Amino acid sequence: MSSLAGKTPEEFKGFLKEWLPPALIRLLRRRRGLLWVGDYATWEEAKRLSTGYDLPVILERVKEAALKVKRGEAVYQRDGMLFEEIHYSWPLLAGLLWVAAQKQGTLEVLDFGGSLGSTYFQNRLFLQRLAHLRWNIVEQQHFVEAGKQFIEDETLKFYDDIDQCLAERAPAVLVLSSVIQFLEKPYEFMRRLCDYGFEFLILDRTSFHAGGGERLTILKVPGEIYPASYPCWLLQKQKFYDLLGQHYHLVAAFPALDEALFPAVFEGAILVRK
């Protein structure tokens, strides 16, 4: 072990990855990852016992990271955390390019709950050669204000709500990445979305209950990301897809990148309007 003396943190992490069993590495990651606690009867109770998503520290952390990516000072960010390499959701990217292929190289997206463009910047390298690309984000007001001031450009635009976006644009595909489970009434929200008639839906990083049930929890975010907690659903998968199946064909479902601790499992899906 003396050979480890003087090594940088990055070199030490490389040593661990080389010598520790993969199962132990996954366990260590999960122990410092997202944590779901409680089983609450009402959204109001879970909300009262959590800090919420509108803490100023969350926006500041995400804004700082997003600006570094936009300026080329960092490669990739997610949830305000910077990474040395892009963690691609290849099925999501395949879905976006699949839509563009059917639209003569045109891709117009409505990214609901898209933060300050993390999914856009994640996939920009592969999308920027399209004949036409427009990425529209609908977010909370304080995120929209920051997006318009610091991030927005000719391709990336920010809106306060879906109707405002649709009054100006006609996106063919709706992207929902790590957002549905954080809504008070996720199934009611999905029913309203179906009424808008988007031609394609791409879901990613949606949390379901691994046991097939449903549970309302509080998600505690690791302190190294930002100190926060907020209500979070572990959705019932069959109920969720039955609802969407009334209006959409399921093209493909896929496991998401997130490493979840039981009872959560993350998945994504590509759907097309019937």
The pLDDT tens digits for 162-210 are 999 999 999 999 999 999 999 999 999 999 999 999 999 999 999 999 9
Strands laid side by side in the 132-138 sheet: 156-159, 132-138, 106-112, 173-177, 200-209, 264-273, 248-255
Q: What is the CATH number of the domain that holds 121?
A: 3.40.50.150
**Could you tell me if residue 123 is inside a domain?**
yes
Residue at 49: amino acid letter: L
Position 4 pLDDT exceeds 90: no
- Rounded mean pLDDT, 82-110: 96
Position 18 pLDDT exceeds 80: no
Tell me what the pLDDT averaged over the chain comes to.
Answer: 89
Domain count, the chain: 1
pLDDT (0 to 100) of residue 34:
66
**Could you tell me if residue 17 is inside a domain?**
no
**Could you tell me if residue 246 is inside a domain?**
yes
**Could you tell me if residue 59 is inside a domain?**
yes
**Could you tell me if residue 72 is inside a domain?**
yes
Q: What percent of the chain has a predicted confidence (pLDDT) above 70?
A: 86
Structural domain harbouring 165? 38-273
In contact, 199 and 173? CB cutoff 8 Å: yes
pLDDT (0 to 100) of residue 28:
43
**Could you tell me if residue 23 is inside a domain?**
no
Strands (E), 87-214: 106-112, 132-138, 156-159, 173-177, 200-209
**Could you tell me if residue 14 is inside a domain?**
no
Residue at 97: amino acid letter: L
| Overall residue count recorded for the chain in this entry | 274
pLDDT (0 to 100) of residue 94:
98
First to last CA, the chain: 61
**Could you tell me if residue 13 is inside a domain?**
no
In contact, 31 and 224? CB cutoff 8 Å: no
